[in-house]
Every structure is written in structure tokens, then in C-alpha cells.
Amino acid sequence: MSGSGDKVVGTTKTPADFLKSIRGRPVVVKLNSGVDYRGILACLDGYMNIAMEQTEEYVNGQLKNKYGDAFIRGNNVLYISTVKGPLADGA
């Protein structure tokens, strides 16, 4: 018996596919604590441990610190989002 899932085969994209496609691109990583880290996604593993480059730390929407490289433990991550525009506006 054929199910309705047959119609979307080939167009289904998994979260792993998304994460592979954004490596090397600007991202925002939101932590459970509410702190945001913005930078270039260098790599990540199956536990969602994240390595970032050109990282900026934002607390309550305000820039608090800049790091060359940052490593974030996966169990602290709430979500990862891509950035639409450049990281630094007119800097």
C-alpha cells in the first residue's frame, strides 16, 4: 500500500542536511541561558558541540565580547539559525 509520504521523497531535507549546508556560513547560536553567539560556523558534531570563528557574544541584544574562535558545548544550545546579511554592519 502506498502512503502519502511517497509524494515528498527527494524533497525531504533532514536537520543533518541543513547543518551540513551551513558550515562556513554566518550563524546565530542561541544558548539556553539566552546568550547569543554570532559568527562563522566552522564545524559541529553529532552532540551539537559547535566550533565557531570570528565570534561575537551578545547578552540582552548588546555586544559584550569578541572572540577569534569559540567552542560551545552542545547541551547548552537552544537553536542555530542562519544570518541573512553580513555579520558586521558598516564596521
Q: Does residue 6 sit within a domain?
A: no
Q: Which three cell numbers stand for residue 8?
A: 515528498
Q: Does residue 9 sit within a domain?
A: no
Q: How many domains does one find in the chain?
A: 1
Q: Does residue 54 sit within a domain?
A: yes
Q: Does residue 57 sit within a domain?
A: yes
Q: Does residue 7 sit within a domain?
A: no
Q: Which three cell numbers stand for residue 82?
A: 542562519
The torsion angles phi and psi of 6, rounded to 5 degrees, stand at -65, -25
- pLDDT tens digits for range 37-88: 999 999 999 899 999 999 999 999 999 999 999 999 999 999 999 987 655 5
Distance CA 16, CA 28 (A): 17
Q: Does residue 8 sit within a domain?
A: no
Quote the domain boundaries for residue 68. 15-82
- Quote the pTM value: 0.77
CATH number at residue 55: 2.30.30.100
For residues 58 and 44, the answer to whether their CB atoms sit within 8 Å is no
Q: Does residue 88 sit within a domain?
A: no
Distance CA 50, CA 47 (A): 9
Concatenated DSSP letters for 33-85?
Answer: TS-EEEEEEEEE-TT--EEEEEEEEEETTEEEEEEEEEEE-GGGEEEEEE-SS
Q: Does residue 87 sit within a domain?
A: no
Q: Which three cell numbers stand for residue 86?
A: 553580513
- pLDDT tens digits for range 21-42: 999 999 999 999 999 999 999 9
